[in-house]
Structure 1
């Protein structure tokens, strides 16, 4: 299924599929916020650490299958596969975009 994702979201998803940390960070603003199931990571340094410690080691790859707008936010849903308990798990990603970049990404199961 081909989804019409805004460029920063598509870039993030494509980099995640390659487990490319630098590519995953590129679409985020320097002071972006990532909220991972209630845990807050502020700025690219903290987000990089999240990717290095919790995404890459378990090879967590998100494969979106739905996208919709919710006000100013973009909601993307789909399974994440990897070497973690319960895989695959269905996630909801809520993106807030500002000036063509990711300002906030909130993930929930």
Structure 2
């Protein structure tokens, strides 16, 4: 997908390689992630969250559509979870090539 911001492409690549270190580097130090009713504050908590999710679900992301104006990514995810595969929306706040917030719905 050619219109993906570099940081989003890096995030997807890190996710698909189950690389929690590179995944967390896509985020600003003070970033916030909202997922499944939980809030993760800062790069350290985000790294721990994605490590646990990777161990449990083995999720692979495939971008479907990226809306530049609203910084929304629709991605097909598949893995070890009920209902796989699903299409989820990732709402980003990206500044200076870093993710400052992410809400997954």
Instruction: Provide the TM-score with structure 1 as the length reference.
Output: 0.88
Whole-angstrom distance in 1 between the partners of 2:101 and 2:54: 18
Asked if the contact 1:34–1:104 (Cα under 8 Å) also holds between the matched residues in 2, the reply is: yes
Aligned to 2:88: 91
Aligned to 2:75: 78
Asked if the contact 2:25–2:43 (Cα under 8 Å) also holds between the matched residues in 1, the reply is: no
**1:100 to partner: Cα distance:** 1.3
Asked if the contact 1:58–1:84 (Cα under 8 Å) also holds between the matched residues in 2, the reply is: yes
SS in 1 for 2:31: strand
**1:25 to partner: Cα distance:** 0.9
Q: Alpha-carbon deviations, 1:41-67, whole Å to 9, x = none?
A: 101111111112123321011211101
Asked if the contact 1:3–1:67 (Cα under 8 Å) also holds between the matched residues in 2, the reply is: no
**1:90 to partner: Cα distance:** 1.1
SS in 1 for 2:56: coil
Give aligned pairs, total.
105
Within 5 Å, which residues of 2 pair with 1:2-81? 2-70=1-69, 73-81=70-78
Moved over 2 A (4+): none
Structure 2 unmatched runs, 5+: none
Give the structure with the larger helix fraction: 2
Q: What do you get for the CA RMSD once the two structures are aligned?
A: 1.3
Whole-angstrom distance in 2 between the partners of 1:53 and 1:17: 15
